[in-house]
Amino acid sequence: MTAMSTRGFARLASGAAGTNFGYLDEQTKRMIRRAILKAVAIPGYQVPFASREMPMPYGWGTGGVQVTAAVLGPADVLKVIDQGSDDTTNAVSIRQFFARTSGIATTTSTAAASVIQTRHRIPEHRLKEGQVLVYQVPIPEPLRFLEPRETETRRMHALSEYGLMHVKLYEDIARHGHIATTYAYPVQVAGRYVMDPSPTPKFDNPKMDDCPALQLFGAGRERRIYAVPPYTRVRSLEFEDHPFTVQRFDRPCALCGAADTYLDEVVTDDRGGRIFVCSDTDHCEERRAAGHRGEAA
């Protein structure tokens, strides 16, 4: 028996629920960390990794959870969001999972977190150096629906043949008069690889550019990890005469009055009543605590 696995067993006993710190065994974490290092070294490139079965179904963030497990340390503070919210099922269960298996501190505050796992949003609060943002990715391949052959898409990435990505945008404009892709909007990272930013709204794309935090992407079912290192150029694809634009909302958040955030539509009664509120619940609460008020508050 090697020293490594002995240490692994020692850790096993120390876990709060009888599991190893970060749930995964040390060998698996090493393997994932190697993939992450490679991904950081080649921004936007999809690195294959030996994705493990996790105690949750595919589609619930198995890739993100494995990346989080591999980067978490005992001193980390974890925040998990799902569509910007800290209190939905997915977010709560993943937060509890790590609190139980690793005994680490959790938070809902973006500023207080060192690792943030996210599904479909980037927090409104500007991320800072030293933070890690982990995305859950369902389909890592941006070319998938245009070119179904994986051998061919890999070759296209290798040769930077990205004309096809613009065919998709062309089709949008031809059909709708504007680029109608509103989420999973393709970006080019560091002037090289075209990357699917996971199904975040394109509203969040500008936040990925020159971001001080490390951004990691994990796709569990597809077994791919990719990354955007801090302060990396991330450009959304566009046409010269149809530049990239983000969604605009014609009214501010009904709770906190913010006019520069991504809003969710919330139905309030069965008579057609609805309000638009910040999708980032933490950001909204912070603003309200600071005295900002929207029309419904």
Q: How far apart are CA 25 and CA 18, in angstroms?
A: 12
Report the C-alpha gap between 3 and 206 in whole angstroms: 46
Q: CB under 8 Å to 214, separation ≥6 — which residues?
A: 40, 131, 132, 133, 227, 228, 229, 230
Nearer to other proteins, 1 or 159 (CB): 159
- Alpha-carbon distance of 31 to 54, in angstroms, equals 16
Tell me the closest approach of the beta carbon of residue 236 to other proteins, in angstroms.
13
* Contacts with other proteins, residue ranges (CB under 8 A): 146, 155, 159, 161, 163-164, 166-167, 170-171, 173-175, 238-242
Which residues have a catalytic role annotated? 44, 253, 256, 278, 284
If the CB atoms of residues 31 and 146 are measured against other proteins, the closer one turns out to be: 146
Smaller CB distance to other proteins: residue 30 or 166? 166
172 or 209: whose CB is closer to other proteins? 172
CB of 255 to other proteins, least distance (A): 39
**C-alpha Rg value of the chain to the nearest Å:** 20
What gap in Å lies between CA 9 and CA 58, rounded to an integer? 28
**Closest CB to other proteins among residues 12, 146:** 146
C-alpha span between 40 and 216 (Å, rounded) = 8
CB of 169 to other proteins, least distance (A): 8
Q: Which is nearer to other proteins, 167 or 267 (CB)?
A: 167
What's the one-letter identity of residue 126? R
Please give the distance of CA 172 from its chain centroid, rounded to a whole number.
Answer: 25
**What 3-state class would DSSP assign to 260?**
coil
Q: Are 65 and 94 in contact (CB under 8 A)?
A: yes
Residue 165 CB, shortest distance to other proteins, in Å, is 8
Instruction: Write down the least CB distance from residue 244 to other proteins, Å.
Output: 12
Q: Are 244 and 179 in contact (CB under 8 A)?
A: yes
Q: Shortest approach of other proteins to residue 247 CB, angstroms?
A: 20
**DSSP-H helix ranges across the chain:** 3-14, 26-41, 62-71, 89-102, 150-158, 163-176, 205-208, 281-289
